[in-house]
Structures are given as structure tokens and as C-alpha cells.
Structure 1
């Protein structure tokens, strides 16, 4: 059963309220992770995405700009039959860390229906977000906490993982 409308602000407020609890929980996994943690993480990730339909939210596409790798840029520019410098000039800028990101948000490839017009060739960062299916999840605790503030699925993932463990 997926949610048709997701109250992004409600999840953001919940994530803010539980940030300390979540941080302590994830830190405990770093200290002493169960042997089967990766399997539990995969199962919880699947359960969360049976409940959450990203297209009912798309908050990541509206507010978080992905980091573009050179492979991403090449693949997407080729798709649009654009030369790399033209694609970069049209869509990207270099941030304070020297990373290539969108010039502005929301994502220019996000449709009004919350669907991605380049879904099959989207950047690697978009493919992996919110990183809740990653092995050794405790290695990205800071990122997981940060993602709970933006992504309802990341918030639910941490909550369900806490219930399991």
C-alpha cells in the first residue's frame, strides 16, 4: 500500500524531533552491529519502499541537488545530443567544494507529475538516494540523519530499523 500524498513537512518535523534518538541508535550500530545487519537493512529498505511512493513526494528532486560525476555528465549530454560544455553551461555549476551540481533547484528534469524525464539515465547520486539499501549502513550515519530531514522514506527506514533491532 503506497501513500498517494506525503506530508513532507510532517516528516521533516518528526525527523527534527527524533534526530538525537536516531543519531544515538545509528551510533550504536557502528559500535556493535548485528552479524546480519546488511540483510536486515535490505529487508527494511524494501518494506519502506512498498509503503512510500517517491513520486508522491519528490522532495529530493525539489530541494537536493545531486552531485554529477563526469560519467553522469557524459551520459546525459549524449542523451540530449549536446556537447559537454553546452550541457554544463546550461544546467550545471561548480559548488564551493568543487563539485558539479545543478545551477538551480528544483531539478530541471522533474515533471509536474513528479516523474523524472531522464529516469533511466539519471545521475548516480539520484539512483542511490536515500542510500538506505547500502551495506554497512553505519558508515554513513551522518548522511542517513541528514536524509531523514528531507526524505520521508529515510525517516521511516530509521524508525523501522529501530523497531527491528
Structure 2
């Protein structure tokens, strides 16, 4: 199987954006879903999120009700205080962090609330679940800043 190069991956990802869109539209969902768990694991054997943390530096997860309850309890804040201090409502009506980078991201790229992080963070970059296919625009956006998404898409496209 072809080895995926990770040097200069951002440029290659941008160059392949149209191919990703076409692939995601036409992909055999069952075949792809079968391959995702192994490709996800393979990607994270090669990629260390702590080297990058671009997701935490540039984007915000949605903070859903269970996340709000769990995180505010962990921080020993009332939910309202937690929301007022850290979050805002976005155009979709979801709670997101007020500013980037995420206030819980340390200089060492470690998350200070990792054990109780939002479910969106826990699931990101969705390379082992059907979101990869169900939300192709999100997948393409994620491929532009996440080496793991780039890696998985490249691997999926090398085998028809």
C-alpha cells in the first residue's frame, strides 16, 4: 500500500480539495466505514496531536448541555458563570469558546480539561465514524488543518 507523506501535507491537502469533495460524494459508504477504524489508528500511530493542536488554536467545539454540566462542575463553577466566562452563542445557536485559541489549551498543547473535554473534542477529527461521510464540508475543512484527516482521506483514495 502506498505510503502517505506528511511533509508539506497542508499544500497537498489544498491541492486535493476537489478530489476529496468528489470522493466523499461518490464513496461506497459501507466500504469506507469498514476501513475507517484501522485507518484512524494508523493515522494516530504517525501523527501526534500535541505537535500541532491547530484544532484548539483555530476552532471551537460545540459545548452541549452535558458538556456544560460536566465541565462547570469540574471547574467548580456554576453553569451560568462558566458560560459567561468562557463561551458565546454562535450563528447556529451553539455555545462555543469566546476566542481562539481555546482558553483550556496550554502552551504545551495539552488541554487543561482533557478528562472532561466536550464530546466534539473527544470525537474530533471524526476519522473513525460516519461523520466523515455524512458531513463532507466539515471533512474537507478539517482536512485543511488536521494531518490525521488528510492522512485518512489520502489512504481512502488510494484503494478503490
Tell me the TM-score normalised to structure 2 length: 0.90
Give unpaired runs (5+ residues) of structure 2: 1-5
Residues 121-132 of structure 1: matches in 2 within 5 Å? 121-132=116-127
Kindly indicate whether residue 39 of structure 2 is the aligned counterpart of residue 41 of structure 1: no
Aligned residues: 155
- Secondary structure in 2 matching 1:85: helix
Give unpaired runs (5+ residues) of structure 1: 1-5
Q: Distance in 2 between matches of 1:104 and 1:34?
A: 36
Q: 1:103 aligns with which of 88, 98, 104?
A: 98
Q: Distance in 2 between matches of 1:84 and 1:41?
A: 36
Q: Distance in 2 between matches of 1:48 and 1:157?
A: 7
Match of 1:84 in 2: 79
Match of 2:25 in 1: 27
Contact 1:63-1:106 within 8 A present in 2 as well: yes
Tell me the TM-score normalised to structure 1 length: 0.87
Kindly indicate whether residue 113 of structure 2 is the aligned counterpart of residue 118 of structure 1: yes
Q: Distance in 2 between matches of 1:41 and 1:83?
A: 39
- Secondary structure in 1 matching 2:88: strand
- Mark the CA change 1:137 to 1:97 in structure 2 (over 3 Å): closer, same or farther: closer
Tell me by how many angstroms 1:12 deviates: 2.8
CA RMSD of aligned residues (A): 1.6
When structure 1 is superposed on structure 2, of 104-113 and 133-142 the one drifting more is: 133-142
Tell me by how many angstroms 1:34 deviates: 6.2
Match of 1:12 in 2: 10
- Mark the CA change 1:121 to 1:103 in structure 2 (over 3 Å): closer, same or farther: same
Match of 2:142 in 1: 147
- Secondary structure in 1 matching 2:115: helix
